[in-house]
Structure 1
Amino acid sequence: MASTESRATRGPARGTRPANRRQLIVRAAEDLFYRKGYAKVGMGEVAEAVAIGPSALYRHFRGKQDLLVTVVDDAMRTLEQVLAEATPDDVAERLAAVSLEHRRVGVLWQREARHLPAEQRAELREVTKRIGARLTVLIRLRRPGLGGAEAGLLPWCALATATSVSFHSLSLPEPGFAAVLADLVTRVVDAPITLPAPASEADAVGAAAGLPTQSRREVILAEATRLFARHGFAGVSMDDIGASVGIAGPSLYNHFAAKSDILAAVMYRGDEWLRMEMNRVFARAADARDGLHRLIDSYSGFVLENPDLIQLLVSETAHLPDADRQRARSTQYTYIDEWVHLAVQVHPDWDPLTTRIRVQAAQTTMNDIALIPSLRTRAGVDAALHDVSAALLELR
């Protein structure tokens, strides 16, 4: 897989005029945006990747935003077309294949779409809605007795499982990888979840307002987390954080030496929270199977209660200083390792690599549902996510 991707993103020889130049530009931009982040990539760098001058690049695209729109839009419309041709029997295979073909786009949509103008974001959301609607039709044809509430959740879980490959670099020889991913999508589509019918507005219970903290540092961390999640780390200034807290931007330096220190403090808190919850699980678990069930509940509770924090843990790690970034990634890898260790105890015939792909799929699915407000707040979603994750890890 790695060698195929490197050939796909390698530019043509300088001075040549390949017929597929526009496609090469899109592939090079996709690779650069994925590896370095949209904010850190310039048009000159994209031009260099395909061995052309910047002026030639602008003959194809008006600017960097236009290029990002094209990268994401091409992949999403390809997915829409694939699903339009899919049947209830082959939807998992088709979804797996297109997700591997456009492996980077899950990250780009979740992490970089915030940089797009509102009009383009709205257009891409409409494509996403159509994808979800088509998946709903296919799943209900496959499962005629499925309730409306369940049919409203499972398509997004299936899509999240398929695109989970965007959030890691694990790979298997083909056609094995596509088969594994298709099997995971199938397990999600067929997961035995139950959700209560949506409550009417009259029966809805509003969330508790909560109590404000008196700690200025805590207020800064909370507001920075919210702003970073919505606009990205690069799109938020110290003045923005100060204005949200109600103080002058320079006053923030009484609490944090730099904006990156705020991000590091938030990340450290999230990582430690997960570690502490994991230790509680291990202290109470009867065996490996029980431990995995408890870890699923622990993790789903964390992401559902802290969607902004999970957004940062998933998408903003690259903005940390080197030492903090290495620590954060090491902590995340170690956390996943614990899941893999338990899963292999439950299934001794599973190899660690494929097991890790399963674990990543389960965690990514919970992450993605937590980032969709209409799904995150649905009654019974925590239990449904438990059942989906248990299906992915074959705990039933």
Structure 2
Amino acid sequence: MTTPVTARDRAKAQRTDAILSASARLFAARGYSGASLEDIGAAVGISGPAVYRHFAGKQALLAALLVGVSERLVAGGDAVSAAAGSPLERMRALVDFHVDFALGNADVIRVQDRDIAHLSPESRADVRQLQRTYIELWIDGLSGIVNANRDELRLRVQACFGLLNSTPHSTSTALRSRTGTAPLLAGMALSALLAGAE
């Protein structure tokens, strides 16, 4: 029998999520070194020291942000792959999933691009391992469509990620909106993955 989640537990979880969102926003805007725990606490209406009730420190906060998003990518990629029918449907589902991620997590992508070096060696290794797992998931999907060795498939997948993950660096908020941009990005990504395939 599981213990019911109390209102206090829910409030703490909501505050933790708010801290993670604020840290992503502030790290993206100012860099890891330019955003203090006081800044992050103030962004969610608490003091800097109160952040320690949720995270051991700023580095632990960065780890929770980057390891957490990598775990969600792997779990989400697994889920959409398992639900798809044909290899092409699987690839389309993975592309749509990642496009949605890229458009909805611009701050986290910017933080990972710039501040991953601030993670502890252990957390950095965790992120890298999760990234490799996610890439392998895509390679496995692509291998059912494109007749190529795994090195070429990896190149195609990483080039696709380069395309999709560059979107958060756009200065245009309109460009990053899901409505018009998602189908365009998905089409471009699928074309890149399948370029020259028989």
Same fold by TM-score, threshold 0.5 exceeded?
yes
Instruction: Tell me the secondary structure at the aligned position of residue 194 of structure 2.
Output: coil
Q: Does 1:292 align with 2:91?
A: yes
Give, as a single letter, the amino acid of the residue that structure 2 aligns with 1:336: I
Separation in 1 of the partners of 2:50 and 2:75?
32
Q: Does 1:365 align with 2:163?
A: yes
Q: Does 1:306 align with 2:113?
A: no
Shift of 1:243: 2.2
1:285-334, Cα deviation, whole Å (9 max, x unpaired): 11222211110000001111111122223332211111111010110111
Change in CA separation of 1:271 and 1:378 when aligned onto 2, cut-off 3 Å: closer
Q: CA RMSD in A?
A: 1.9
Shift of 1:338: 1.4
Separation in 1 of the partners of 2:154 and 2:21?
32
Shift of 1:259: 0.4
1:199-225, Cα deviation, whole Å (9 max, x unpaired): xxxxxxxxxxxxxx9432222111111
The count of aligned residue pairs is 183
Separation in 2 of the partners of 1:351 and 1:232?
39
Give, as a single letter, the amino acid of the residue that structure 2 aligns with 1:308: D
Shift of 1:370: 3.2
Give, as a single letter, the amino acid of the residue that structure 2 aligns with 1:279: D
Shift of 1:369: 1.6
- On the 8 A contact 1:270/1:313 being kept in 2, the answer is no
Greater C-alpha Rg: 1
- Quote the sequence identity (%): 33
Trace 1:1-396 onto structure 2 (pairs within 5 A). Answer: 214=11, 215-348=14-147, 350-372=148-170, 373-377=173-177, 379-394=179-194
Separation in 2 of the partners of 1:337 and 1:361?
14
Long gaps (5+) in structure 1: 1-212
Separation in 2 of the partners of 1:221 and 1:297?
25
The two structures have a TM-score, normalised by structure 1, of 0.44
The two structures have a TM-score, normalised by structure 2, of 0.84
Separation in 2 of the partners of 1:285 and 1:316?
34
Long gaps (5+) in structure 2: 1-9
Structure 1 or 2: more helix by fraction: 2
Structure 1 consecutive aligned stretches of length 4 or more whose deviation exceeds 6 Å:
none
Which has the bigger relative contact order, CA under 8 A and spacing at least 6?
A: 2
Separation in 2 of the partners of 1:279 and 1:333?
13
Separation in 2 of the partners of 1:378 and 1:285?
22
